[in-house]
Amino acid sequence: MNIPKLHIQSTPGRIGLSIQKPEQTIRQHKAEQSIHQPKAKMDVRQKPGKLTIDQTNAWHNLDLKNVLVRTEELVSIAKNHWMEGLARVSQEGDEMMRIENGGNPIADQAKRNAGYDFTFQPGGKPAYDLVDIHYQPEEAQIDVQRRDPIIETKKRDPEHHYKPGSVDVAMEQIPDLQIDWKV
């Protein structure tokens, strides 16, 4: 006896996906910046210093003296000579007064007074040592006004491009179920 058999054939369904990825680009440009630094304002004021040069001693070293100085020197020298002469005459008078003690005071005094005695001093101090130089500087007044830098910045927005992706769904294989009886 033939028994019919059940025959089942199935075909599974298949879904196909077509995917396109999204695209995104971001680009950031550098900002534009300019910096300008103005020069600081500076003001310097300086009064001239005071220079004094005294060369009186150098002129005196050359024996170039004014009338007042020359007169004072001569008065001093004459006073010393007068005092020395007064002392000498007094001493000679005392010697003459004691003539009875012996000796020859007149001849001795004549010998002493016959010659002329003087001293000569050649040269002198160097002239540069005799010039007095004095300098008194003045303070400098310095005013500075600083200036801030000028900074200009131009920002740039980023460039943003976006292309969305997509997903397409399609039935690549339709499901199928076949049931059959076979003998």
Q: Return d(Cα 71, Cα 118) in angstroms, integer.
A: 21
Average pLDDT over residues 9-23: 90
Q: Return d(Cα 130, Cα 59) in angstroms, integer.
A: 9
The pLDDT value given to residue 8? 86
- To the question of pTM greater than 0.75 for the whole model, the response is no
Residue type, 91: Q
Q: Which residues, including other chains, have CB under 8 Å from residue 181's CB and lie 6 or more apart?
A: 4, 5, 6, 7
| pLDDT grade for 123, boundaries at 50, 70 and 90 | low
The pLDDT value given to residue 125? 62
